[in-house]
């Protein structure tokens, strides 16, 4: 074989090795990135439905306060303030399975754009027979005006006594 042929064969072989390595390394890093994101999102290691996040940059919760214990069939009054796009605040009461019990929308009453405004939600806690020992979680958030994803999420378990 001529030196030119050897160089071409070596170049093609090197390219194949690089492509195979890139393929496997790329999949590995994607899996690692997904694992790291999962750990960061779930800092406590507990299932997300049982986590508590009471801090959001643009939504502040005033009530209820921990330990979030409620009686079946009672009302849950949620108050706070928000500084979000057009003052639009949403709240969702849902079972651990994701089944939504009640979802509400309100507008925070701010004096001007860029200021915090007060909001209130009133939820009816289901009766014992409806709950049937299922875990419940309350989430407060605003939807992104760009793509509708949830922003400024505050969430906590609703403990039924």
Interatomic CA distance for residues 80 and 63, integer angstroms = 7
Percent of the chain whose pLDDT exceeds 70:
81
Residues 17 and 54 in one domain: no
Residues 32 and 82 in one domain: no
Structural domains counted in the chain: 2
Please give the pLDDT value at position 67: 79
**Would you say residue 146 has pLDDT above 70?**
yes
Helix, strand, or coil here: 55?
A: coil
Residues 77 and 100 in one domain: yes
Residues 112 and 133 in one domain: yes
Interatomic CA distance for residues 132 and 122, integer angstroms = 22
Residues 27 and 62 in one domain: no
pLDDT tens-digit readout, 26-38? 655 555 445 444 4
Please give the pLDDT value at position 44: 41
- At 42, the pLDDT band (50, 70, 90 cuts) reads very low
Helix, strand, or coil here: 60?
A: strand
Tell me the whole-structure pTM to 2 decimals. Answer: 0.67
Residues 70 and 119 in one domain: yes
Average the pLDDT over 93-108 and give the result: 93
Residues 80 and 137 in one domain: yes
Q: Where in the sequence is the domain holding 26, given as residue range(s)?
A: 1-41
Instruction: CATH number of the domain at 75, please.
Output: 2.60.40.10
Interatomic CA distance for residues 68 and 54, integer angstroms = 12
Residues 60 and 109 in one domain: yes
Q: Which residue's entry shows tokens 């949403």? A: 90
Among 59-63, 95-99, 130-134, 136-140, which stretch is predicted with the lowest mean pLDDT?
Answer: 130-134
């Amino acid at each position: 074989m001529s030196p030119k042929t050897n160089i071409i064969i070596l170049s093609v072989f090197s390219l194949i090795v690089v492509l195979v390595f890139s393929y496997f390394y790329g999949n590995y890093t994607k899996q690692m990135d997904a694992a790291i994101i999962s750990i960061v999102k779930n800092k406590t290691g507990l299932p997300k439905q049982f986590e508590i996040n009471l801090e959001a940059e643009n939504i502040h919760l005033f009530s209820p306060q921990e330990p979030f214990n409620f009686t079946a069939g009672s009302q849950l009054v949620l108050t706070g303030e928000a500084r979000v796009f057009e003052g639009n605040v949403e709240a969702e009461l849902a079972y651990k399975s994701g089944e939504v019990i009640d979802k509400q929308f309100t507008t925070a009453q701010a004096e001007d754009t860029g200021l915090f405004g007060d909001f209130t939600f009133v939820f009816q806690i289901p009766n014992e027979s409806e709950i049937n020992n299922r875990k419940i979680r309350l989430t407060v958030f605003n939807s992104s005006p760009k793509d509708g994803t949830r922003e400024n999420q505050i969430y906590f378990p609703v403990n039924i006594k």
